[in-house]
Amino acid sequence: MAEKNIPYEYSAAEAAVLVIDMQNDFVREGAPMSLQSCRDAVPNVGKIIEAGRTAGLPIIYLRFFTGPKETLVWTWSPQQFPPVKCCWKNVKRSYDDRDGELECTDIIDEIYPEPQDYIIDKYSYNGFYNTNLESVLRSNGVKQLIVCGALTPICIDDTVAGAFERQFRCFVIDDAIGYFSEEFHINSMKMIDMKYGRVLKAEQMLAMMK
């Protein structure tokens, strides 16, 4: 991203890691909405989470749900209709890269939450919409978010915009994010870097978190 004056610096005392929608139905091979880019992001997402744990930061996972009744979001995601039921609660399915059936909305096992972590469920793209995410952040004294997960230009973009509106300062990790297409992702990172937050590579963020 272009060099520019940055309005804020990283503060471990005010930060949390926000992991967006790294779920079986988006990440696993053979999933209804599987994307290779989400699988490619897993190693760096894991590194960010581990660095956050080491630093004692809150780790917050978002999960996307849909169904059982049709909502507007289904219009653009036909996989959410029966019989597929993508991201429906209590629906299990088999995936090409795992044995047995898994809960389709569950976080992937490579970065699975620990007991002290937060899991927040949402029925929209924006992690703040009709959830307790803001309350969780405020109760932990969080003012900065380290954002990774899935995916641009939808849930990442909407959640970062929601964070900006609520005065949370975002560090968005370019190479720890899945995307629909490289073009979409590049445009999202440009937009976020221009008006919503700081866009960094995982290596840059990890160096600041040490």
Structure tokens at 47: 């590194």
Q: Closest by alpha carbon to 170, among 184, 186, 182, 159? A: 159
Strand pairing class (92-94; 101-103): antiparallel
Question: E strand or H helix at 193, and its extent?
Answer: helix 182-195
Write the pLDDT tens digit of every residue in 88-100: 999 999 999 999 9
Q: Is the pLDDT of residue 5 over 70?
A: no
Write the pLDDT tens digit of every residue in 109-139: 999 999 999 999 999 999 999 999 999 999 9
Region 167-179 average pLDDT: 98
Strand pairing class (118-122; 101-103): unpaired
Cβ atoms of 169 and 141 within 8 Å: the answer is no
At residue 110, what is the residue type? Answer: E
Distances (CA, A) of 117 to 10, 13, 32, 34, 168: 21, 17, 27, 25, 19
Task: Identify the CATH homologous superfamily for domain 12-209.
Answer: Isochorismatase-like (3.40.50.850)
Handedness of CA 124, 128, 129, 133 (dihedral sign): positive
pLDDT score, position 1 = 47
Structure tokens at 40: 């490619």
CA distance 202 to 182: 17
Question: E strand or H helix at 170, and its extent?
Answer: strand 169-179
- Residue 6: pLDDT band (50, 70, 90) is low
- Percentage above 70 pLDDT, the chain: 97
Distances (CA, A) of 81 to 24, 70, 128, 161, 163: 17, 8, 25, 28, 30
Q: Is the pLDDT of residue 4 over 70?
A: no
pTM above 0.75, yes or no: yes
Please name every residue paired with 59 in a beta bridge, in sequence order, or none if there are none: 17
pLDDT score, position 3 = 53
- Residue 7: pLDDT band (50, 70, 90) is confident
CA distance 70 to 77: 11
Average pLDDT, the chain: 96
